[in-house]
Chain A
Amino acid sequence: MTETSDPGIFDKVWNRRGFRTEASAALAISIRVWKVELSYPLSVLWFIIMPFIWFLPMLIAGSAVAGGPDSAYLQSLTGTRDWVSYMAIGSAITGLTTSLLWGTGFSFRREQNSGTLETLMSTPISRNTLVWGQMLHNLQHGGLGVILQLGAAVVLFGVDLNLWGILPALAIVALAVIGLQGLVFAIICIVLLAKQGWMIVELITSTLLLVAPTAYPLAVLPPILQYVSRASPLTWSVEGFRGFLTDGLAYAGVVQAVLSLIVLDVIFVAMGALMFRYTERYVRSKGALEQF
């Protein structure tokens, strides 16, 4: 029989409630994922060089058509001639998005593969906290990637960042994370129902990144994709992030970007959380949680 020094510990843990408890559980999940990741040195090395390697082909392709650091055509579309800065700042957020959507979206699948999903689901914390904990880790993971990519862009390619815009840009990232979390909940539903479902997730992620103005303005997209783009929180996140880091506090599109993000955040999170709630209940009622 298992003995503990404090026989009331199970009751205490079981009865713990409130934001602090859930936040501490989310933090514990985040730290645990870091410990697992850091035990693979090659993965750490890849994480450091990945943002740079992803950015490189775009930079070479851009240089092949531009022939220099300026683009008159881009200026006519966006008002800026410096295509390297435009692209580097915009695409920096791509790594964070991928990390959030894939890392958090497939976290339940990874737990399932490790045989720990049922155990996690039976711990006395909110099911949402399991997702928020994974998100917290991927936010740190992806966030470090953004810093590395922007750092490399500044040092290696002479990208100019407006330092006054760093804090507001971080606020935009916070709003972006909330909206993307709604999508993450939807992805987890796909994973829970379809088990593998990576093709659907790849389709969603790739479409989202295609219609986002990371390396090009919305004006070059076909009209129908421009409408789709405006309904994506990633679009306004990229616009706001780049706007603040380029123009600082003088960024003209701040009201539109922030308002759009707030509205989309509310819609995406509400819909995602509802979907997750019902899917998780459905999967448990079918006893399909551990099915592969």
Chain B
Amino acid sequence: MEVTETKDEHIIKTSGYAEVFRPRMMDWNATKIFASKNLRIAIRYPTNWIIWGFLPILWFAPYVLMMTAIAGPGTSEHFAELSGFNDFITFSVIGWFCYQFVDKSVWSIGNNFRWEQFSGTLEPLFVIPVPRISILVGAAVSDTVQCTLSAVVLLFASCFVFSVTYAVTAIAPIILILTMMVIALYGFSFMLAGLILVFKDPSVLTELVSNLTYVLSPVTYPIQALPASARIAAYIVPSTIAMVTVRELAITGVFEPLALLQAVGALGLIILGFWSLGILAFRYAEKWTKITGSLGEF
């Protein structure tokens, strides 16, 4: 009789998907659906895209003004010796452009499950039969689309405000390096997503990671300005090599195949390392929250 049918039997009868379902490492269909869901929400708030193109100028301008007050307009002998570039404003603007992707990976992708938790949709998401990494990659893709648009607005606005220009002769290698940097940052944000799943309150942890990556990244100063021990740590940040390479290509416009190959090789290793670490850390965190029953806790 129909009324004595158990809930599980009912699900199997009504859903063909449940019958054919087999656990997988990655579900690209889920990634696509999740990315388009996030983008659909983002499109509902068009001012966000524009604001994020201009707001970082207010955070970045104090650095330029401070450096100008100390060294005089635009250039410094010591800065040129350290970095190999004469103009610290041109140097910093491109650094801030690249840093937008790092910032996004920390605040948006890393915190993605926290935002789902605030919306009350985390537990339903965790019971759907798709690998959690597929959801995270989906969130990362949609955030990358939004970040790229805002970062391009920021770059053009900054070029206008600070009267700086860049060479576009080596645009293809720049895009290649930026893409590799973004992929490496995905691994970094998976790791953060795991940490936030365990520690919940994201404000302190995210602030700490965000500020530390900023201090270590060569955004407004070259790596050589850091103490020797911090320089090693700086190269662990997935964006450092990319930032140095993109800056070189964008300012000089000179394409050196060997230097590019070295950067691509190093970034490849970083991608491998961060993805392995990120997936492992996230899986462990997911398992831990499920065992302790703290998934829905704030």
- Knowing A57-B220, A73-B69 are in contact, say whether A64-B83 is a contact too (CB < 8 A): yes
Q: With an 8 A cutoff between CB atoms, is A87 at the interface?
A: yes
Q: Does B164 contact A (CB under 8 A)?
A: no
One of B59, B70, B225, B226 near A74 (C-beta < 8 A): B70
CA distance A269 to B192 in the complex (A): 42
Q: Is B221 an interface residue (CB 8 A)?
A: yes
Indicate whether A66 sits within 8 Å of B76 (C-beta atoms), given known contacts A73-B70, A216-B68. Answer: yes
Point out the residues of chain B lying under 8 angstroms from A209, CB to CB.
58, 62
Asked whether A83 is an interface residue with its Cβ less than 8 Å from the other chain, the reply is yes
A25 interface contact, C-beta 8 A: no
Contacts of A206 in B (CB 8 A): 55, 58-59
A53 to B212, Cβ gap below 8 A? yes
A215 within 8 A of B: yes
Given A42-B199, A60-B226, A206-B55, answer yes or no on A216-B215 (Cβ-Cβ < 8 Å): no
Is the pair A216, B71 in contact by a Cβ cutoff of 8 Å? no
Q: Assign chain A's interface to a size class.
A: 35 or more
Any chain B CB within 8 A of the CB of A203? yes
Contact with B along A58-78 (1 / 0, CB 8 A): 101111111110010110010
Across the interface, name the chain B residue whose C-beta is closest to A90.
Answer: B66
Evaluate contact between A71 and B71: CB separation under 8 angstroms: yes
Contact with B along A215-257 (1 / 0, CB 8 A): 1110111000000000000000000000000000000000000
Inter-chain contact B71/A46, CB cutoff 8 Å = no
Count of chain B residues with a beta carbon within 8 Å of a chain A beta carbon: 42
In contact, A216 and B62 (Cβ under 8 angstroms)? yes
> Does A120 lie at the interface of the complex (its beta carbon under 8 Å from any beta carbon of B)?
no
B65 contacts A220, CB within 8 Å? Answer: yes
Complex: chain A residue closest to B83, CB-CB: A64
* Cβ-defined contact, B215 with A53, below 8 A: yes
Contact B214 A43 (CB under 8 A): no
A231 to B51, CA, bound (A): 25
Binds A, one of B13-21, B178-186, B203-211: B203-211
CB-defined contacts of B219 to chain A, threshold 8 Å: 57
Cβ contact within 8 Å between B201 and A42 = yes
B22 to chain A, nearest CB (A): 40
- Kindly provide the distance from the CB of B150 to the nearest chain A CB, expressed in whole angstroms: 13
Q: When the two chains form the complex, which single residue of B62, B81, B88, B222 contacts A215, counting CB atoms closer than 8 Å?
A: B62
Q: Give the docked Cα–Cα distance between A142 and B70 (Å).
A: 27
Instruction: Indicate whether B72 reaches chain A with its CB closer than 8 angstroms.
Output: yes
A57 touches which of B68, B83, B215, B222 (Cβ 8 Å): B215
Residues on B with beta carbons closer than 8 Å to the beta carbon of A56? 215
Tell me the B25-62 residues at the A interface (CB within 8 Å): 47-48, 51, 55, 58-59, 61-62
Chain B residues whose CB sits within 8 angstroms of the CB of A220 once the complex forms: 65, 68-69
Q: Which residues of A contact B66 (CB under 8 A)?
A: 58, 61-62, 87, 215-216
User: Can you name the residue of chain B whose Cβ is closest to the Cβ of A41?
Assistant: B204
Shortest Cβ distance from residue A37 to the other chain B in the assembled complex, whole angstroms: 11
- Bound complex: CA of A241 vs CA of B149, how far in Å? 41
When the two chains form their complex, are residues B215 and A215 in contact, meaning their CB atoms are under 8 A apart?
A: no
Contact of B208 among A46, A63, A73, A74 (CB under 8 A): A46
Q: Is the CB of B55 within 8 A of A203?
A: yes
Cβ distance B177 to chain A, nearest Cβ, rounded Å? 23
Q: Is A214 an interface residue (CB 8 A)?
A: yes
A216 nearest in chain B by CB position: B69
Q: B211, A54: Cβ atoms under 8 Å?
A: yes
Q: How far is the CB of A103 from chain B (nearest CB, A)?
A: 12
Q: Mark A181-224, 1 if CB is under 8 A from B, else 0.
A: 00000000000000000010011001101100011110111000
- Interfacial residues of chain B within 60-95, with CB under 8 A of chain A in the complex: 61-63, 65-72, 76-79, 81-83, 88
With both beta carbons as reference points, the residue of chain A lying nearest to B220 in the complex is identified as A61
By a CB distance below 8 angstroms, the chain A residues around B204 are 40, 42-43, 45-46
Whole-angstrom distance between the Cβ of B163 and the nearest chain A Cβ: 12
Q: Are B214 and A57 neighbours in the complex by a CB distance under 8 Å?
A: yes
Of B47, B70, B79, the contact of A83 (CB 8 Å cutoff): B70
CA distance in complex: A43, B62 (Å): 27
* A53: min CB distance to chain B, Å: 5
14 A-B interface contacts by CB (under 8 A): A43-B204, A57-B63, A61-B221, A62-B70, A64-B67, A64-B79, A64-B82, A65-B79, A66-B71, A66-B78, A203-B55, A210-B61, A215-B69, A216-B68
Extra A-B contacts (18), CB below 8 Å, given A58-B63, A61-B225, A215-B62? A40-B201, A40-B204, A42-B205, A53-B208, A57-B220, A58-B66, A61-B67, A63-B225, A64-B82, A65-B76, A66-B78, A67-B81, A71-B70, A73-B71, A206-B58, A206-B59, A210-B65, A217-B69
A residues adjacent to B (C-beta < 8 A) = 40, 42-43, 45-46, 50, 53-54, 56-58, 60-68, 71, 73-74, 77, 83, 87, 199, 202-203, 206-207, 209-210, 214-217, 219-221
